[in-house]
Structure 1
Amino acid sequence: MKNLYEIFKKNSDLLGEPEVIQLVEYCEKLQDEIVAYKFDRQQDKQLILLDIIREIIKGCNEVEKEQMEHERFGYEAPNYQATISNLKSYILEICKDNQVYL
Structure 2
Amino acid sequence: MKNLREIFKNKYDLLDEPEVEQLLDYCEQLQDEIVEFKFEKDKNKELAMLDMIREVIKGCNAIEKEQNEHERFGYDPPNYQETISNLKRYILVRCKEERIWL
TM-score between both structures, scaled by the size of structure 2? 0.72
Task: Please list every run of at least 4 consecutive aligned residues from structure 1 whose deviation after the TM superposition is greater than 6 angstroms.
Answer: none
Runs (5+) with no aligned partner, structure 2: 85-102
AA in 2 matched with 1:52? M
Q: Tell me the SS of whatever aligns to 1:21.
A: helix
Runs (5+) with no aligned partner, structure 1: 85-102
Q: CA RMSD in A?
A: 1.8
TM-score between both structures, scaled by the size of structure 1? 0.72
Separation of aligned partners in 2, 1:33 and 1:76: 56
Instruction: Report if the CA contact (8 A) 1:8-1:14 is conserved.
Output: yes
Q: Find the counterpart in structure 2 of residue 94 from structure 1.
A: none
Instruction: Report if the CA contact (8 A) 2:67-2:77 is conserved.
Output: yes
Query: Are 1:66 and 2:66 counterparts?
Result: yes
Q: Tell me the SS of whatever aligns to 2:61.
A: helix
Q: Find the counterpart in structure 2 of residue 41 from structure 1.
A: 41
Instruction: Report if the CA contact (8 A) 1:15-1:21 is conserved.
Output: yes
Query: Are 1:57 and 2:69 counterparts?
Result: no
Structure 1 residues 69-78 or 44-53, which shifts more? Answer: 69-78
Separation of aligned partners in 1, 2:7 and 2:33: 21
Instruction: Report if the CA contact (8 A) 2:63-2:78 is conserved.
Output: no
Instruction: Report if the CA contact (8 A) 1:4-1:24 is conserved.
Output: yes
Q: Tell me how far 1:74 sits from its aligned partner.
A: 2.2
Q: Tell me the SS of whatever aligns to 1:77.
A: coil
Q: What percentage of aligned pairs have identical amino acids?
A: 68
